[in-house]
Every structure is written in structure tokens, then in C-alpha cells.
Amino acid sequence: MTTSWQGRKALITGGAGFLGATLAHRLASLGAEVTAVDSFLPEGGANPFNLDGLAAPFTLVKGDIGDAVAMTPLIERSDAIFNLAGRTGHMDSMSDPLGDLAANVTAQLGLLELVRTRRPTARIVYASTRQFYGVPDYLPVDEKHALRPPDVNGVHKLAAEQHHLIYAKVHGLAATALRLTNCYGPRMRVKDARQTFVGIWIRRILEDQPFEVWGGAQKRDFTYADDVADAFIAAIDAPACAGNAYNLGGAHHNGSGAVSLDTLAEALIAANGGQGGFKRMEFPADRKRIDIGDYEADDRAFRAATGWAPRVDLVEGLRRSIAYYRANLAHYL
Ligand SMILES: NC(=O)c1ccc[n+]([C@@H]2O[C@H](COP(=O)([O-])OP(=O)(O)OC[C@H]3O[C@@H](n4cnc5c(N)ncnc54)[C@H](O)[C@@H]3O)[C@@H](O)[C@H]2O)c1
């Protein structure tokens, strides 16, 4: 259930990115005073067009969350902090591990220190990931599953998540972490596969080109961006969530949360009115080494804590995504 956000001050880190901007639109529509801060990393999903249509009291600050001087006044006036800033590239984290450490751990700890010292009553939700479950022992994966990060990014995202939970436990911050799975929807990066392969699939389909399916049997759990945004808001609004990390999955498709990439490809073509095709490719060896195999989220704990449930079914979510990029593709190339 969504409470009133009229007059509440929300800070979104990574607010020009795919999920941060989706949240900005949602919170603004609920009446919140939204400030987005983003360093516009070229390899991520940051895009000024993502924030198109947001009017005052919305504010965009171009800056790095690791800059304590710039962040202090933003933190001091925030009631809720949606912490989505992060470097997301798995391959990039392997080639530049220290850069990933600085962005995903050091900057995050700096942010938490500011919240602790300047605004300890602010509620905070961190965008964590299912990535660090590694290759699952069982499906669906619940929060008790062993943690085995498969890459440097996974180690750092886990560290940042755990710092949020330590600050909740030891310092009493109202901090929650949501372990996101494969998210998709309007405002994701589509010019290449750096953010998500769903992005480049949609670009190809709109350009009447076949998209590439690497492997095809792997299963993933896909969450539509609006459902992710609603989950972040639900987490802020449910005080009982503080101090906990929760899985987040997507709407079930044909009775299952896990969808093979082959099924996703068929759903995408269906969402495009039956138009489009794909080529099957071998899974590249360098990606295979850090791949997590199949994944399906058990998100019953979060549903029980908040009443949240995903509302957008896979084909509908893909249909909305295609419609968005059909209208706006030029802003994303
Ligand atoms: N999209 C997914 O499927 C998914 C899955 C699991 C976890 N997540 C997490 O959700 C968050 C948002 O992901 P997204 O898909 O929207 O990615 P995104 O790249 O679109 O958004 C992240 C934003 O953070 C910004 N940023 C990075 N470091 C920053 C810093 N130090 N200071 C200020 N801004 C900074 C980037 O410029 C970018 O706009 C990330 O933390 C990511 O790890 C996303």
C-alpha cells in the first residue's frame, strides 16, 4: 500500500539512471519533493532524457555520492534516501577492480557516515543484487541461501549491502536492502548490452534486425521497472523492513517466476505483434566464468513485510518497453 508522499523530501542517488529515474517519476507523481544526484558515468544507464517531464520541485544535482561536501546539504534535508548509485558492469569490475571498489564500497560507506552523522532519522533503501548468491544450490532462492559472489562487483555489492545492515543494527539507521534480479523496462540502456541484454534485444527488434540469444536455456527472473520502483517505496514505508535484506522477483509467467531466455525471446516477439527473430549464439567463454546459471527469486518475505506484489506481467512489460523505445529510441542511441 502506498502512503502519501505529499511534501516528503526524497533523495535518489543514481537518479538519472534506469531505475533511479523510474523512481523519480513515480515519487514525483505521488507528490514527493525529489532530488536526484548522479555522476553520469558513461558506461551506465545515466541519461538526461530519463528525467524528461519532471518539473519543480524536482532537482537534478550532477555529482558523485563520494563527495561529502556536496552531499551533506542533500542528506541533511532528506526524509527518504533511495540509494541506487553504483557501477553495474560485471566485466568492468574484473578489468578495473579498484575502480569498482571506490564506487561501490568506499563511496557507499561515505554516504552512510553522512546519514549517521547528519540525518540519522532518514529512511534509506539500498539497491542490492541477487548476483552474490552465485550459482544457486536450489530454486527459488530465498534469503537464507549461501552467499558466493561470482565476481568483483558481486563482492563489492555484498559489502555495501552489509554496511547498510551494520549501520541499521549498530547505529539504528532505518536502512533496508533489496536484492534485485534482472530488471527491465522504459529508460534502460538499449544502445548496447552493457546494462542488460534485454535492452539490445529491443533495439535490434525495433531496427528490424535479429537479436542474439546466447545459450537460451538459462533461466532468469525479470522484474518490470515500475514494480521495482513500487518495491523501493514500499520498503521505505514499512518500518519493519529496517535492518533486513529482501529478495525481489518479478511477476510469474506461465506459472513460474523463472523464464528461460528462449521463452523471453518468444515473449518479446509476441509483445512486438509477432514480428522479429533471433540468432542463437554460443555463450562467450569470458562471461561463462562469472555466469550464475539459473535464477528464480523467492520474495515471499518482502511481500509479507510490505504487501507489495509485482503487477506487470512479462509480455505486458515488454510491450510497454517496445512502445517507449519506438517513440524515444533516438534519445538512447
Ligand atoms: N538493473 C538491474 O537489473 C539491477 C539488478 C541488480 C542490482 N541493480 C542495482 O540497482 C542500482 C541501479 O541500477 P540501474 O540498472 O538503474 O543502473 P544505472 O547504471 O542505470 O544507474 C546507476 C546510476 O548511478 C550513477 N552513479 C554511479 N556511481 C555514482 C556515484 N558515485 N555518484 C553518483 N552517481 C553514481 C550512474 O551514473 C547511473 O546513472 C545499481 O546500484 C545496481 O547495482 C540493478
| Closest approach atom of ligand 1 to CA 41 | 37
Q: How far is the CA of 255 from the centre of ligand 1 (A)?
A: 30
User: Where is average pLDDT lowest: 85-89, 212-216, 279-283, 327-331?
Assistant: 279-283
Beta pairing class for 219-220 and 259-260? antiparallel
User: Is the preceding peptide bond at 42 cis, omega within 30 degrees of 0?
Assistant: no
Atom of ligand 1 nearest to the CA of 87: 27
Which residues, 6 or more positions from 327, have their beta carbon under 8 angstroms from its beta carbon? Answer: none
Q: Which atom of ligand 1 is nearest to the CA of 128?
A: 7
Residue 155 has pLDDT above 80, yes or no: yes
Percent of the chain scoring above 90 in pLDDT: 90
Residue closest via CA to ligand 1's atom 26 equals 85
CATH: 3.30.1490.20, 1.10.3720.10, 3.40.50.720, 3.40.50.1820. Which one for 9-181+224-250+296-311?
A: 3.40.50.720
Nearest-Å Rg of the Cα atoms of the chain is: 19
Give pLDDT, residue 194: 87
Q: What is the per-residue pLDDT for 293?
A: 87
pLDDT of residue 74: 98
Question: 256 CB contacts (<8 Å, ≥6 apart)?
Answer: 296
Q: What is the pLDDT of residue 56?
A: 86
Distance 84 CA to ligand 1 centre (A): 5
pLDDT for residue 3:
67
- Residue of 38, 51, 88, 247 best suited for mutating to test ligand 1, as the one with most atoms within 8 Å of CB: 88
Residues pairing with 223 in the sheet:
183
> Please, what's the b/e burial string for 272-303 (b: 16 or more CB within 10 A of its CB; e: otherwise)?
beeebebeeeeeeeeeeebbbeebbbbbebbb
* DSSP letters spanning 90-141: HHHHHH-HHHHHIIIIIHHHHHHHHHHHH-TT-EEEEEEEGGGG-S-SSSSB
Residue minimizing CA distance to atom 21 of ligand 1 = 17
pLDDT score of 1 more than 70:
no
Residue 2 pLDDT grade (very low, low, confident, very high; cuts 50, 70, 90): low
List, for residues 42-61, the tens digit of each pLDDT value. Answer: 999 999 999 999 988 999 99
Q: Is the pLDDT of residue 4 over 90?
A: no
For residue 328, is pLDDT > 60?
A: yes
Pocket of ligand 1 (CB under 6 A): 13-14, 16-20, 37-41, 44-46, 64-66, 84-88, 103, 107, 127, 129, 157, 180, 182-183, 195-196
What is d(CA 225, CA 185) in angstroms, rounded to the nearest whole number? 5
Q: If you average pLDDT over residues 81-105, what whole number do you get? A: 95
Per the CB < 8 A criterion, the answer to whether 239 and 174 are in contact is yes
Residue 288 pLDDT level (bands cut at 50, 70, 90): confident
Kindly list the domain boundaries of the chain, sorted by start residue: 9-181+224-250+296-311
Mean pLDDT of the chain: 95
Q: How distant is the alpha carbon of residue 28 from its chain centre? A: 19
Q: Of 33, 116, 125, nearest to 85 (Cα)? A: 125
Atom nearest to 20 CA in ligand 1: 16
Mean pLDDT of 89-100: 93
Residues 6 or more apart in contact with residue 188 via CB below 8 angstroms: 18, 45, 195, 196, 198, 199, 225, 321
CA distance from start to end of the chain: 37
Cα dihedral 210→197→226→189 (10° resolution):
-90
Which residues, at least 6 apart from 127, have a Cβ–Cβ distance to it below 8 Å? 14, 19, 82, 83, 84, 86, 178, 180, 232
Backbone φ/ψ region at 148: left (φ over 0), alpha (ψ -120 to 50), beta: beta
Span 269-278, average pLDDT? 96
Tell the residue nearest (CA) to atom 9 of ligand 1: 127
Lowest mean pLDDT among 9-18, 71-80, 250-259, 293-302: 250-259
